[in-house]
Amino acid sequence: MYVTIDTSALIAVIGNEGSKKEIIKITEGYSLCAPKSVHWEIGNAFSAMFKRQKISLALAQQALAVYRDIPIKYIDVPLETTLDISESQNIYAYDTYLIQCAQQTSTPLLTLDKGLKTAAEKMGVSLLEVES
């Protein structure tokens, strides 16, 4: 069985954040899928950390190496549907891609993003909850 994983959860794992163990625990036995956009969102997350001086290039490169070892099935989502959902739910396309991925694959969504959780629930997407 698959679970759709968000950038926030991936960054928590590859960046050794406090929720890493819980994320690994609740995804045990699952395969991971994500919209293709997640790949570039990882880069964007690191660039934001650079701007805030929260991470060094060396640490980001180490985390990226860990990311590359995580087997993720990347899913293409139709942009036409993205626009419809984004407009009707008043959310960013990046959040919409994740919702679409979960819907297309009939999988629960794992995210640490509260806004995305709320939008996903409104769209009938089930969630895997991180407790810590």
Q: Is the pLDDT of residue 132 over 70?
A: no
**For the segment 21-45, what is each residue's pLDDT rounded down to a tens digit?**
999 999 999 999 999 999 999 999 9
Q: Mean per-residue pLDDT for 5-24?
A: 95
pTM above 0.85, yes or no: yes
Distance CA(126)–CA(30), nearest Å, equals 15
The predicted model gives 11-20 an average pLDDT of 94
Q: Report yes or no on 112 lying in a domain.
A: yes
Lowest mean pLDDT across 8-12, 75-79, 127-131: 127-131
Q: Which of 20, 50, 31 is nearest to 112 (CA)?
A: 20
Provide the edge-to-edge strand list for the sheet that holds 109-110.
72-75, 31-35, 2-5, 109-110
Write out the H or E segment, with its range, that includes residue 64. Answer: helix 57-68
User: Residues 94-113: pLDDT tens digits?
Assistant: 999 999 999 999 999 999 99
Q: Is 125 a domain residue?
A: no
Q: What total number of domains does the chain contain?
A: 1
Which amino acid, 94?
A: Y
| 10 falls within a domain | yes
Contact yes or no for 18/45 (Cβ under 8 A): no
> From CA 30, how far away is CA 15, in angstroms rounded?
21
Distance CA 94, CA 96 (A): 5
CB 42 within 8 A of CB 67: yes
Range of the domain at 101: 2-119
**Is residue 107 in a domain?**
yes
Q: Is residue 57 domain-resident?
A: yes
At residue 131 the predicted structure's pLDDT band, cuts being 50, 70 and 90, is confident
Reported confidence tier of residue 117, pLDDT bands at 50, 70, 90: very high
Q: Is residue 49 part of a domain?
A: yes
User: What does the pLDDT look like over 53-79, one tens digit per residue?
Assistant: 999 999 999 999 999 999 999 999 999
In a domain, 130, yes or no: no
| pLDDT confidence of residue 34 | 98
